[in-house]
A and B are shown apart, each in its own frame.
Chain A
Amino acid sequence: QKEVEQDPGPLSVPEGAIVSLNCTYSNSAFQYFMWYRQYSRKGPELLMYTYSSGNKEDGRFTAQVDKSSKYISLFIRDSQPSDSATYLCAMDSGSARQLTFGSGTQLTVLP
């Protein structure tokens, strides 16, 4: 079993839809959670960073963490074609000081 499981998609939605991206994890030591967006042939861009259970909102993006269920989500409201990219969840236990990534979800927002 992988430490982090992420639905690879691909996921295709119409413009304006709400998108839900999810990851589950098995290592209860993970304390820090990140979502990255990666466009084709570019490096990942940090979108959201959180370290506590609950919701964190930044513009159209909301990151949700449920440590009791070992489940994290990223919601994108009013999705735009420019949101079309691969989204990676990533986690850190703190002691390892390196990230464990999900496999990535490829999202396409259709105009």
Chain B
Amino acid sequence: AQKITQTQPGMFVQEKEAVTLDCTYDTSDQSYGLFWYKQPSSGEMIFLIYQGSYDEQNATEGRYSLNFQKARKSANLVISASQLGDSAMYFCAMRVLGDDMRFGAGTRLTVKP
């Protein structure tokens, strides 16, 4: 079974700086998708970015980019130019062929003014 590990329970970043949230995964499947979600204090999960295992380029969506290192099985989320509204829980998730979405434990990001 696949496993997602987020080793940082909490992170702090200064406003306007960049921050990297770590995610490693474990699967023997060759075909899989990696996702990042944001959960503000309101509770709703917001999809941020997707990376397919066969995608050669790292995914980017605005200030979000996914640093995909396949050999190391890591899919770190990079947020550039942090804003106060980025303070939230962030979850890494993976889906393999024939199975469905599994999530990591999450990282709580706090952006300091």
- Asked if chains A and B come from one complex, the reply is no
